[in-house]
Structure 1
Amino acid sequence: MRIRKVLAGVCLPVLVAGCVSLPGSTYELERLQEAIPAGTPFVQALTHEYTAFADALRLQRDWFNSQYFARKGLEIVQGTVVGPEDPANWSIDSQSARQEMADARGRLLAVLNDGGPAHAPVLTATAQVKFDCWVEQEYIAHGTEAVEACHRDFLAAMDVLASAAGKPAAAPAAAKDGAAHDDSFLIFFDFNSTQVTADGSRVLAEVVKTAKKMTGKSLQIIGHTDGSGKGDLNRRLALRRAEAVQKALIAAGLPADRLLVQGRGSSEPLVASPGNVPEAQNRRVVIRFAN
């Protein structure tokens, strides 16, 4: 029987507090789903990605790994810097797969240490979690389509990050919007929807709390879509998403004259994807504090 070394000594006593991994257990995932992502856009995106990954594993009835990655997400929420998995800590049979993953992890660490989280926060978070997905699926089911899907998604994210390396576009965009990365929040939307989700509502609660401490600043609410629709329709959908967030913030007590709304359609994707292909990470509203 293959044993994953990464958790050796961590979850052996089943009754240890905070280490529940019995079949069907979702305690850690539920805690993560209830948490409010905060911090930099990278931290928020990484929390979102690990939440989605842990939930996908739950749907596969992979209870143990679902809880493991949910705990990883909770560490991020609590302010811990969490890196990509080390394949050496997983009992992966294929030597060629282990070597390929080790090389890929080195490239990913270079991105993480060289400004990726600041310049391309969502894409960098996607790359990290897709790498972890690749490692986990290789451990579970070598050679299957699930492994290849995670691998392809990781490589696609890394290709875009590599093509953008050294380009200063991200920094001026943030400066133009007049907001620091630490004062930004991301709200994600379902396909073709303007309804704020439960996760989005938790983020908005954090926005309201922060806004009440920053009474002299306005909030820019910028709606975006993926590229699956036509230009004019996407711009209108992006604006309606921003207006839905504006309405929720007004209902929570923020004055309307502090809330500046824009809709930018699909012109500023955070995750590169082929034309007309839905991409969840691009369906978002960005909230930034501005002077």
Structure 2
Amino acid sequence: MKFLKTATALCALPLLAACASNWDVDGAKMAANDGSAFQKELQSEYSRLAGLERDEGDWADAKLFVGKALAATTGDVEPQMVADRNIPADKVEELAAARNKLTMAYAMGGKVKAPNAAARAQAGYDCWMQEQEENFQPDDIEACKKYFMAGLNDMSGEKAKASDDIIVYFDFNSSMLTDESKGLLVKASMMGRGANAVMVTGHTDTKGNAAYNESLALTRAQAVSDFLKAHGIMGKSIRVGASGESMNAVTTGDEIEEARNRRVVVSFK
């Protein structure tokens, strides 16, 4: 991670205790904030990003986002500059244009008119920048980008487009989330916060009894729902359902094991 300029600037801010609590996510989240609604929401958004990166073992980005959360308690914090990260050359123009759209929306009063959406947009943008610099998890890059776009659209008074579905897969006869699925669902939880409803639908392959598969599909969907709720999605916005073996992604005969059919589909409305 190449954050020397950013980290230095953040450590210079007053009330950050000389960056003594670089990775104190809970402290950043609970720090007193008498600022604007935008500042308070931005503190929450950056604290959440810090927690996600800490849980993934990305200490440099956890430190960065903790610093930005704390900085939000004393004043407005700007979205990161493209030059602050080593962005692939073919992505620089897209990210620079996105940042310009965000600052233009701010100039039009977006922080005051829609502080929650404005904070989501900025957090999504910085998340997008962070994932794009790493440039090895396309699903995570896309999730952060969509979170940014949803916030930007809400702030601008535009109707956000429905996000693409997110699909996680399961081992045979299992409802346990894999590490890969958890990583994807963490990013999905960001997207879901900007959605009106989150549809979670479980599926199985055709191996086994249809009634059993219906139950297994529901158990898988519930496992995904529980994970999303634990990562910030309001339970009242989640709709859990199951189709068992009746709506396969890949058409097979009966009693066939097929990994691509053992899935939960998360849709955003």
TM-score by length of 2: 0.54
Measured after TM superposition, the shift of residue 135 of structure 1 is 0.3
Q: Cα deviation per residue 1:246-265 (whole Å; 9 max; x = unaligned)?
A: xxxxxxxxxxxxxxxxxxxx
> Deviation of residue 71 (structure 1)?
0.7
Of 19, 31, 44, the residue aligned with 1:35 is 31
Which residue identity does 1:71 align to in structure 2? G
Distance change in 2, residues 1:115/1:10 (3 Å) = closer
Task: Give the distance between the partners of 2:97 and 2:51, measured in 1 at CA.
Answer: 28
* Distance 1:97-1:26 versus aligned 2 partners, 3 A rule: same
Question: Matched residues in 2 for 1:51 and 1:4: separation?
Answer: 18
Match of 1:18 in 2: 18
Secondary structure of 1:84's counterpart equals: coil
Q: Which residue of 2 aligns with 1:140?
A: 134
Decide whether the 8 Å contact of 1:127 with 1:154 is kept in 2.
yes
1:114 shift after superposition:
1.5
SS in 1 for 2:72: helix
Match of 1:88 in 2: 83
**What displacement does 1:44 show?**
1.1
Q: Which runs of 4+ in 1 moved over 4 A?
A: 8-12, 276-284
In the alignment, which residue of structure 1 is the partner of 2:55?
Answer: 59
Aligned-pair distance for 1:143? Answer: 5.2
Instruction: State the Cα deviation string for residues 86-106 of structure 1 (Å, max 9, x = none).
Output: 1111112x2121110000000
* AA at the equivalent of 2:18: G
Q: Does structure 1 residue 116 correspond to structure 2 residue 110? A: yes
Change (3 A) 1:103 1:275: same
Q: Is the alpha carbon distance of 1:86 and 1:11 closer, same or farther for their aligned partners in structure 2, counting shifts above 3 Å?
A: closer
Count of residues paired in the alignment? 168
Q: CA deviation at 1:9?
A: 5.8
CA-based RMSD of the aligned residues comes to 3.1
| 1:84-143 alpha-carbon deviations (Å, 9 max, x no partner) | 001111112x21211100000000001112111111110110000000000011112345
- 1:6: Cα distance to partner? 3.4
Structure 2's unaligned 5+ residue stretches are: 12-16, 160-192, 200-227, 237-269
Give 1:276 shift: 4.7
Cα distance in 1 between the residues matched to 2:108 and 2:9: 32
Decide whether the 8 Å contact of 2:131 with 2:137 is kept in 1: no
5 Å-filtered alignment, 1:147-158, equals: 147-158=141-152
Alignment match of 2:195 (pick from 261, 270, 273): 273
- Equivalent runs, 1:95-244 vs 2, <5 Å: 95-142=89-136, 144-164=138-158
Deviations 1:161-213 (A, max 9, x none): 33349xxxxxxxxxxxxxxxxxxxxxxxxxxxxxxxxxxxxxxxxxxxxxxxx
- Does the 8 Å contact 2:10/2:67 carry over to 1? no
Question: CA offsets per residue over residues 38-74 of structure 1, 9 Å max, x none?
Answer: 3222111111101111111111111111011101111
Gaps of 5+ in 1: 166-270, 285-291
Q: Which has the higher contact order (CA 8 A, sep 6+)?
A: 1
Distance of aligned partners of 1:108 and 1:44 in 2 relative to their CA distance in 1, 3 Å threshold: same
Question: Hey, what's the Cα distance between the residues in 1 that align with 2:86 and 2:9?
Answer: 16
Which residue is 1:221 aligned to? none
What's the TM-score, normalizing by structure 1? 0.50
- The sequence identity of aligned pairs, in percent, is 25
Using the alignment, how far apart are the partners of 1:104 and 1:52 within structure 2? Answer: 22
**What amino acid is the match of 1:18?**
A
